[in-house]
Amino acid sequence: MSQTEELIVRRDGVAGFLTLNRPKAIHALTAAMDHAMTDALVAWKDDDAVKAVIVDHSEGRGFCAGGDIAFLRNSALTDNGVSGLAFFYEEYQLNHLMTVYPKPIVAFIDGITMGGGVGISQPAKYRVATENTRYAMPETGIGLFPDVGGGWWLSRLPGRLGQYLALTGARIDGSEALWAGLATHYLPVDKLAEAKARIVGGHEIGGVLSALAVTAPEPKLAAHATEIARHFASDRYEHILASLEADDSEWAAKTLATLKTKSPQTCKVALRQLADSAKLGSFAENMVMEYRIAARVLTRPDFAEGVRAVIVDKTNDPKWDPATPEGVTDELIDSIFAPLPADKEWKPL
């Protein structure tokens, strides 16, 4: 077993464990954690004794709250995003490595699973939700964008669910994650230790998880599937807002009010990101696109301002720039998605 302050890497039976260990930060990912996970996965890839990889967390109320947002904001404000972009580059390499990994990965997404936490769990073959799961891609609220592969995973959900989750940043629970296809199994928290023990003992993973799974509660979001599909049908943000404005239901009014708190720039970026990703043939191509977006969005005004308002000062009064959807021009969006110089483009490991 090797242990750093932030990540516990160990072997037990036929399994390699990557245990996130920053409980005070809800296990938010640092560069050191990304490095340690990548190093372990590379080492285990050709180790015949390792049959599976388990990604979980130590104590605390969540699996992973995301990336190290304070570090990224500091980079945007002090070094023109250079260190932040290096963080993204390596994080995206980890996301890609997990997506193409030849051995089964099991992610136990118990508790808060957001942003970067989605990035290291969604590539797993098995994604185990619980009654504590709170799953979200909340980046529109801080002026970032749903990265770490969000374009790939969200664009492939049915019924425009991905567009709804990307724009609103809605938190969904374990039953809703299972219903949406973002989780593969739903287990009670008190069965997780037994599930891990059986996997460690060499039992077939799918069989173990199916045997311990219980029937999830009725997913509340399912009741709004028709409205989501209708109102979020367009890839044009103004059309989505107009559709919601024309609906006098309480759900539409609440959804519209939520969207009006989000960064207009990020909402337009997310819609373009998902639309473009749906046409791509590989996860690597998606990450090339997302890195281009990150290279521009990290140092644009909305990110530092969004983090200030939501996370640093907690005033929830971001002053977005541009302030309106109409102010976010097609030319601006095109510039955010434009290719980087050849020597600056993202590449997989």
pLDDT reported for residue 9:
96
CA atoms of 222 and 132, how far apart (whole Å): 19
What burial class does residue 164 get, using C-beta atoms within 10 Å of its C-beta: 0-12 exposed, 13-18 middle, 19+ buried?
buried
pTM for the predicted model, two decimal places = 0.96
Band of pLDDT at residue 60, cut at 50, 70 and 90: confident
Q: For residue 322, give the amino acid letter.
A: P
Average pLDDT, the chain: 97
Query: pLDDT (tens digit, 9 = 90+) per residue, 15-51?
Result: 999 999 999 999 999 999 999 999 999 999 999 999 9
How does DSSP classify residue 40?
H
pLDDT reported for residue 28:
95
Band of pLDDT at residue 59, cut at 50, 70 and 90: confident
Residue 1, pLDDT above cutoff 80 = no
How much is the average pLDDT of 183-197? Answer: 98
CA atoms of 49 and 169, how far apart (whole Å): 40
Element (H, E) at 250: helix 250-259
Locate the domains of the chain by residue range: 2-344
Compute the residue count for the chain: 349
Q: Is 221 within 8 Å of 175 (Cβ atoms)?
A: no
Band of pLDDT at residue 209, cut at 50, 70 and 90: very high
CA atoms of 147 and 289, how far apart (whole Å): 10
Query: pLDDT (tens digit, 9 = 90+) per residue, 239-267?
Result: 999 999 999 999 999 999 999 999 999 99
How does DSSP classify residue 189?
G
Residue 2, pLDDT above cutoff 70 = no
CA atoms of 89 and 294, how far apart (whole Å): 9
Active site residue ranges:
67, 116, 139, 147
How much is the average pLDDT of 199-228? Answer: 98
CA 115 to chain centre: 3
Rg value, the chain, Cα = 20
CA atoms of 45 and 37, how far apart (whole Å): 12
How does DSSP classify residue 219?
P
Q: Is 144 within 8 Å of 172 (Cβ atoms)?
A: no
pLDDT reported for residue 178:
98
- Per the structure block, which two tokens stand in for 3? 């242990």
How much is the average pLDDT of 307-318? Answer: 95
CA atoms of 127 and 213, how far apart (whole Å): 12
pLDDT reported for residue 3:
52
CA atoms of 347 and 281, how far apart (whole Å): 16
CA atoms of 120 and 291, how far apart (whole Å): 16
Percent over 70 (pLDDT), the chain? 99
How much is the average pLDDT of 263-278? Answer: 98
CA atoms of 155 and 238, how far apart (whole Å): 19
**Would you state the CATH architecture of domain 2-344?**
Alpha-Beta Complex (3.90)
98-131: b (≥16 Cβ within 10 Å) or e:
bbebeebbbbbbbbbbbbbbbbbbbbbbbbbbbb
245-280: b (≥16 Cβ within 10 Å) or e:
eeeeeeebeebbebbebbbbbbbbbbbbbbebbeeb
- Per the structure block, which two tokens stand in for 33? 């954690």
CA atoms of 184 and 146, how far apart (whole Å): 21
CA atoms within 13 A on the CB side of 129: 28
Task: Describe the strand order of the beta sheet including 185-186 as a list of residue ranges.
Answer: 2-3, 7-12, 15-20, 52-57, 105-109, 126-129, 185-186
Band of pLDDT at residue 61, cut at 50, 70 and 90: confident
Q: Where are the alpha helices (DSSP H) in 278-319?
A: 283-297, 301-307
Residue 319, pLDDT above cutoff 60 = yes
pLDDT reported for residue 259:
98
